Amino acid sequence: MLIKTQRDGFIHPASSEITPQLVYQGRREMMKLMATGAAGAAMASWAGRQALAQAARPGKGTAINTVKSAVPGAITMDKVTEYKDASTYNNFYEFGTDKADPAKNAHTLKTTPWTVEVDGLVKKPAKYTLEDLMKLSAQEERIYRLRCVEGWSMVVPWVGYSLSKLLEKVEPLPNAKYVEFITQADPKTMPFVGSRVLDWPYAEGLRIDEAMHPLTLLAFGMYGETLPNQNGAPVRLVVPWKYGFKSAKTLVRIRFTDKEPKTAWNKAAANEYGFYSNVNPDVDHPRWSQSTERRIGEDGLFAKKRKTLMFNGYEPQVGQLYAGMDLKKNF
């Protein structure tokens, strides 16, 4: 009980003072816990990591006020990846295929004005300005693991809210079964749109129950600030139990459909990238194993040390979505 109170009592302060105040507050929370003797090692490290995540703020983006997420599984105890690693080692093919390319090239992305259209099989199709979209629900901080199909993973304090908050607003029709995510494809501001690696726009899809799952995050920021361009500004998806490519960046349209949407990587190589793409250590990529991963900034550049977990460790939260399915066939 005490631990719950302590956690819930951890509220982010407003804007300009975030860094020093949170570092201080994180420490104070820890001290209080130690003093009462109620601090499990886990709780102490949770507070510590909150402080760490905030201390890593770069101070370049605009601060976003957040509340701590109450969604089960939304805060992992893993050590938060350094901001500098999470923002310089990226996949964002619109800006090049090298991991260092997006951080170098994405400054040309134009994020204002920005609108996101939500339509298809819904009663109330709508078009949101970014500002309206950001205000639709309270911005939460969630610390998620994200695992790339290529074998690296990161732990990022994302800022956003459950995608379901948006999807409910448009009132999906009974025949809507899937949600398609369509991203920006502007050759004027995205130098590699038009390259033959992928079909543009980069598109993704989820089954409706996956899209509505509270862990599926519509993200506007990370590390307490607006997203840097290379991480998918101004708005992206984060689906923590699936391989990273499902987490589409620069969203412009969300469409409800009755058929499984075509997805960019599945179109590029259907035998390598299935529709579900749940993180699964037992299903190898045709060209490499998926049983281990390398945590960026932690395990050394060439070491692959960590065992990959089923559903990226989110099995307690999402396992039941796939009850009775053959996950080797539906990879």
- Establish if 93 lies at the interface with ligand MTE (CB under 6 A): yes
> In a 10 Å sphere around its CB, with 0-12 CB exposed, 13-18 middle and 19+ buried, how is residue 49 labelled?
buried
Binding region for ligand MTE (CB under 6 A) out of 22-30, 88-96, 208-216, 300-308? 88-96
Task: Out of 50, 69, 90, 280, name the contact with ligand MTE by CB under 6 A.
Answer: 90
Task: Out of 50, 54, 81, 91, name the contact with Mo ion by CB under 5 A.
Answer: 91
Q: Site for ligand MTE (CB under 6 A): how many residues? A: 18
- Contacts of residue 200, defined as CB under 8 A and 6 or more positions apart, other chains included, come to 94, 185, 193, 194
Residue nearest ligand MTE by beta-carbon distance:
244
- Establish if 317 lies at the interface with ligand MTE (CB under 6 A): no
- For residues 208 and 219, is the Cβ–Cβ distance under 8 A? no
Contact of residue 202 among Mo ion, ligand MTE, none (CB under 5-8 Å per partner type): ligand MTE
Instruction: State which of positions 94-133 bind ligand MTE (CB under 6 A).
Output: 94
- Establish if 148 lies at the interface with Mo ion (CB under 5 A): yes
Q: Which is nearer to ligand MTE, 71 or 252 (CB)?
A: 252
- Using CA atoms, how far residue 163 sits from 138, 219, 221, 287, in Å, is 12, 9, 14, 33
From the CA atom positions of the chain, what is the Rg in Å? 19
Task: Out of 231, 263, 266, 277, name the contact with ligand MTE by CB under 6 A.
Answer: 231
Task: Out of 89, 245, 273, 314, name the contact with Mo ion by CB under 5 A.
Answer: 245
d(CA 238, CA 160): 9
- Contacts of residue 66, defined as CB under 8 A and 6 or more positions apart, other chains included, come to 12, 138, 139, 140, 141, 159, 224
